[in-house]
Chain A
Amino acid sequence: MLRFAARRLAFAVVSVAAVVVITFLLVHAAPGTPMLGTAERTVASPETIARQRALFGIDRPLPEQFLRYTGNLLRGELGESFVLHRPVADVLREAVPRTLLLGGTALVVSLLLGLAIGALQAARHHSRTDALLGAATLVLYSVPVFWLGLILVLVFGERLHWLPVSGMTSAGLGEGLSPLGRALDVARHLVLPAASLALVQAAAFARFQRSALVESLGAEYIRAARAKGLPERTVLLKHALRGALAPTITLAGLSVPYFLAGSVLVESIFGWPGLGRVAYDAIFARDYNVITATALVSGVLVAAGNLLADVAVAAVDPRVRLDR
């Protein structure tokens, strides 16, 4: 198990390194000189630009630039935001936990919801319930997450006034609330953005879970379990679900990029001040250092998600450890 985990860790390190190289290459291969666009000149002072260009050695040959870039990264030096006039590392340190809260909530909710729907469909497959849920998940799976966010704002915020649609806390209340009150306030603000992210992904999980379960319901060991007279409930929940567990964990790990991309699209709609919002603002302002840094942090988070999922799968399914 330890050896397996170590191998997966090495793989995670390689993929993060690949993100570093690819981000660097793509950004330099794209037309336009980094840090010399019109956008930067309008938002940043000439001194800031000069300082950043010197830090990254922008006028040096490409290989030297790359060495400087990786050297800076290893020291945790991500440069300075042109727009926010702050070190990028500080900006990210604030933003990443907020996105982990939002994305983590959405992941847990979508996983539970998706597994429940998929299991219900598989238990009654070819029934009317199955068909209805199948249609519902197909439509939900096809909805652009940012559009769903806008619809939720329109319906629950504007028309019904049920939930707050902007920010992470209620303005002006922060000091007067007890810790519990503050947590509840954040939770209320979390509902709509988390729902936007979770609903679409729940549909993806449900579609996957249904077909994985239906397939494992046809397996030999299920026939054996039925043959010895176990109630259908036990067969489904104890035997079939366990067989479908490992692929679902893998899928959950693979869904990290979806939640990251979703947070770029959704956080700005709900004014959630996380990594996605930082990336969104940086994209519109062409805030170069922030853009590359958010790509990098995303690469690390995605690799971490895969790594966790791999180790979790190996924990529940010993056969996996023998592979490779």
Chain B
Amino acid sequence: MSPWRAAARRFRRNRPAVLGAVLVAALALAALGAPLLAPDPLAQPDPVRLQDRPPSAAHLLGTDPYSRDVLSRTLNGARVSLLVGVGAALLAVTLGTGVGLAAGLAGRRTDEVLMRGVDVALALPRIVLLLAVFAVWDQAPASAVVALIAATGWFQASRIVRAAVLSLREADFVSAARALGATKPAIVRRHLLPHVAAPVIVSASLDVGNIILLEAGLSYLGLGVRPPTPTWGNMIMDGKDVLFSAPWVALAPGCALVLTVVAFNLAGDGLRDAFDPRMAA
């Protein structure tokens, strides 16, 4: 059995992991289908009567202080969280793989420079730097949020890939391929990437939850993706002001956040255990 099939089998037999994967799939569907699923897709403020109303038949999760339907906004908020979480994790892991391959394959000099740079970068206060940038950069679009989170989040992945490349570079099957005249790009594609893929996928999937929390923190501070676009972070910010009189405004997006991050962490833990059974304790 190929290692990928074996990993898939281990994953399927791991009940919490399957639960996580199912939840992730459900959340992705909810995010994609938000315009159809939401009872009030646009959730515009009601100009006649701005008021937070408790959950009722008309508004299952109540309304926020601008009379907007909380359920609809929570569903729409999933779009930003998932887009940023998955998008930034993928971009970061791609960058990290690129740098890791370069460091592992280029000469000692390049390797030294790149990895010392990564050492320093890992020691920087990422979130504080992001806060500073977005505080100065008003109206940053979602793509900028993804790009900057990825740009500050690839360092660990590059280390993982470099370590894997260094251990594989002199492996017999790589030497054999080289002796048979395989070009460098072909060796990378056919022989190195498949081996570094597993640890990289695991690291990316465990990262998604953290990135979602990071984005929520930024938008809770009114940074990154701006209102009126609903994000779970800025919904909690709106709910903070009416916490005592209308707690449902902050509770709904918060529960959605916890559920989403738990789902990704369950799936990520499951992937790690599936690819590296030694770690599955």
Contact, CB under 8 Å: B243 / A153: yes
The yes or no answer to B88 lying at the interface (CB within 8 A) is no
What B residues does A215 contact at CB under 8 A?
279, 281
The docked-state distance in angstroms from the alpha carbon of A140 to that of B133 is: 29
Within 8 A of A (CB), among B227-260: 233, 236, 239-240, 243-244, 247, 250, 254, 257-258
Contacts between chains A and B (CB distance < 8 A), count: 148
Query: Looking at chain A's contact residues, is the secondary structure mostly helix, strand, loop, or mixed?
Result: helix
The yes or no answer to B66 lying at the interface (CB within 8 A) is no
Contact, CB under 8 Å: B220 / A19: no
What distance in Å separates the Cβ of A15 from its nearest Cβ neighbour in chain B? 4
Number of A residues contacting the other chain (C-beta, 8 Å)? 58
The yes or no answer to A22 lying at the interface (CB within 8 A) is yes
What A residues does B233 contact at CB under 8 A?
144
The docked-state distance in angstroms from the alpha carbon of A151 to that of B243 is: 9
What distance in Å separates the Cβ of B269 from its nearest Cβ neighbour in chain A? 8
B223: nearest chain-A partner, CB-CB = A283
The docked-state distance in angstroms from the alpha carbon of A282 to that of B131 is: 11
What distance in Å separates the Cβ of B4 from its nearest Cβ neighbour in chain A? 24
The yes or no answer to B112 lying at the interface (CB within 8 A) is no
What B residues does A23 contact at CB under 8 A?
129, 132
Proximity bits, A29-41, B CB within 8 Å = 1, else 0: 0111010010000
What A residues does B262 contact at CB under 8 A?
138-139, 142
Contact, CB under 8 Å: A295 / B257: no
Within 8 A of B (CB), among A3-61: 11-12, 14-15, 18-19, 22-23, 26-27, 30-32, 34, 37
Given contacts A18-B120, A138-B265, A143-B258, contact A26 B128 (CB under 8 A): no
Range for the number of chain B residues in contact with chain A: 35 or more
Given contacts A26-B129, A27-B132, contact A32 B217 (CB under 8 A): no
What distance in Å separates the Cβ of B5 from its nearest Cβ neighbour in chain A? 26
What A residues does B213 contact at CB under 8 A?
142, 144
Query: Looking at chain B's contact residues, is the secondary structure mostly helix, strand, loop, or mixed?
Result: helix
The docked-state distance in angstroms from the alpha carbon of A283 to that of B233 is: 16
Contact, CB under 8 Å: A295 / B258: no
Contact, CB under 8 Å: B124 / A299: yes
Within 8 A of B (CB), among A256-302: 256-257, 260-261, 264-265, 269, 279-280, 282-284, 286, 288, 291-292, 294-295, 298-299, 301-302
Given contacts A142-B261, A144-B216, contact A27 B136 (CB under 8 A): yes
Contact, CB under 8 Å: B136 / A303: no
The docked-state distance in angstroms from the alpha carbon of A125 to that of B247 is: 38
Give residues in B with beta carbon < 8 Å to A.
119-121, 123-129, 131-133, 135-138, 209, 213, 216-217, 220-223, 233, 236, 239-240, 243-244, 247, 250, 254, 257-258, 261-262, 265-266, 269, 279, 281
Given contacts A30-B133, A279-B131, 10 further A-B contacts (CB under 8 A): A27-B136, A139-B262, A141-B265, A261-B217, A283-B131, A284-B221, A292-B132, A295-B125, A295-B132, A298-B125
**14 examples of A-B residue contacts, CB within 8 angstroms:** A14-B120, A22-B124, A34-B136, A37-B138, A125-B281, A138-B262, A142-B257, A142-B261, A144-B217, A144-B236, A150-B239, A158-B243, A291-B132, A294-B128
Give residues in A with beta carbon < 8 Å to B.
11-12, 14-15, 18-19, 22-23, 26-27, 30-32, 34, 37, 125, 138-139, 141-147, 150-151, 153-154, 158, 210-211, 214-215, 256-257, 260-261, 264-265, 269, 279-280, 282-284, 286, 288, 291-292, 294-295, 298-299, 301-303, 306
